Chains A and B, each alone.
Chain A
Amino acid sequence: EAGVVQSPRYKIIEKKQPVAFWCNPISGHNTLYWYRQNLGQGPELLIRYENEEAVDDSQLPKDRFSAERLKGVDSTLKIQPAELGDSAVYLCASSPPRTYNEQFFGPGTRLTVL
């Protein structure tokens, strides 16, 4: 079974530039999560989707961050414009229906903002 796929694995951009991350969850997993992991810290939830609906986006900085999951499968997280403090690893995870207790994580995208 294929795991959670994320791309790109690494991204380096100048501040004020836009950036987008893509995630394809495990087949059949209707719940999708985006986390941000700062250096030396644990991941923090940004947004959670149930199918195509964002059910928890309370931690998403909506002035510059946006996310979509149009068909309830893959998802895109965007930052526009990026700031120096956005440098982090962005993790995507998914879980099967009604099984929140086990989340499967992708390898992450490491973003460096210069």
Chain B
Amino acid sequence: GNSVTQMEGPVTLSEEAFLTINCTYTATGYPSLFWYVQYPGEGLQLLLKATKADDKGSNKGFEATYRKETTSFHLEKGSVQVSDSAVYFCALSDQGGKLIFGQGTELSVKP
């Protein structure tokens, strides 16, 4: 079945450091891929998405590229801020619109 695996947290970085959160997936067909973010005490928010191979999703300085050959969708940001501290979820959407999430990666950015 379809599944998403992302790197375990917590990830602790200093402000302005480079961020990578790895995400790989297993799916039949051609799923859409997403990164959602959950700030403390808030609901999940869509951060970025990509709907086909080689697409790059970007938002708020975050980027992720849909790599079909490596079945990956790694999240990157060149310079993190304290306000980026949150839990990040990688997800895929199958043909029927069902979202399948990874287990989440907690990011903590220290000043």
Contacts and interface: CB of A to CB of B under 8 A. Distances in A.
B49 A102 contact: yes
Interface residues of A, number: 25
B43 interface: yes
Contact of B97 (A31, A35, A42, A106): A31
A44 interface: yes
Contacts, number: 54
Q: DSSP class of B's interface residues: helix, strand, loop or mixed?
A: strand
Chain B contact-residue range equals 20 to 34
Q: Among the interface residues A41, A42, A45, A101, which one has the most CB atoms of the partner chain B within 10 A? A: A42
Interface in B86-111: 89, 91, 93, 96-99, 101-104
A106 B38 CA distance: 11
A41 B43 contact: no
Q: Among the interface residues B98, B103, B104, which one has the most CB atoms of the partner chain A within 10 A? A: B98
Interface string A87-105: 0000101010000111111
The 10 closest A-B pairs by CB, nearest first: A100-B97, A42-B101, A105-B44, A105-B43, A107-B43, A101-B32, A42-B89, A41-B103, A106-B43, A42-B103
